[in-house]
Every structure is written in C-alpha cells, then in structure tokens.
C-alpha cells in the first residue's frame, strides 16, 4: 500500500478558503534604507528577515562611531524610528 500517493493527490486550492483562514505575514516595522536608533547608536537598515519564531531581525550599518563593528544585527523590538 502506498499511502504517500494519496497525500500527493490532495492539494487544496488556497483561493477557495475564506480570507480569515489564509495567513498573511504582517509588514515589517522598518524599511530598507530607513534610519533607526538603539540607545545612542544611529544606523541605517541594510537587510531584514524573520526568524523561525516570527520575530523581525534587522541588519544595520552604523553611522558615525562604530567602535570597530560597522555592521550589526538587532531584533526589531530594540530599534526605534529616527525622524
């Protein structure tokens, strides 16, 4: 008996599901190229992604004094928008 063939045949059409059941990712809090801060550190967002747990992760390029580390990575919850 080949049960995996049955699983391969069933492919539900996502367009027929109600919109509330189709999960969509929320937008990121910061755009690429946006200026952000974390404490006294001012930086520009260079890359963004989500962790397996759904948390936002941002790679930033530090402006000004970088203390030997011009590229850093932050969780989105620790960054603030700079106006």
CATH code at position 23? 2.30.30
* DSSP assignment string, 39-51: TTEEEEEEEEEE-
Q: Are 61 and 43 in contact (CB under 8 A)?
A: yes
Tens-place pLDDT, residues 4-40: 555 566 776 767 777 777 667 779 999 999 999 999 9
- The greatest distance separating any two alpha carbons of the chain, rounded to the nearest whole angstrom, comes to 66
Burial classification of residue 40, based on how many CB atoms lie within 10 Å of its CB (0-12 exposed, 13-18 middle, 19 or more buried): exposed
Contact 76, 60 (CB under 8 A): no
- Number of structural domains (the chain) is 1
pLDDT in tens, 32-79: 999 999 999 999 999 999 999 889 999 999 998 888 899 999 999 999
Identify the pLDDT of residue 82.
Answer: 95
Residue 52 and residue 56: Cα distance in Å, rounded? 10
Task: Give the predicted TM-score (pTM) of the model.
Answer: 0.69
Query: 72 lies in which domain range?
Result: 3-81
């Amino acid at each position: 008996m080949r049960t995996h063939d049955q699983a391969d045949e069933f492919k539900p059409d996502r367009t027929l599901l109600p919109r509330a059941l189709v999960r969509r990712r929320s937008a990121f809090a910061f755009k690429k190229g946006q200026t952000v801060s974390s404490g006294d550190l001012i930086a520009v967002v260079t890359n963004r992604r989500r962790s397996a747990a759904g948390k936002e992760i941002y790679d930033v390029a530090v402006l000004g004094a970088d203390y030997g580390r011009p590229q850093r990575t932050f969780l989105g919850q620790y960054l603030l928008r700079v106006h």
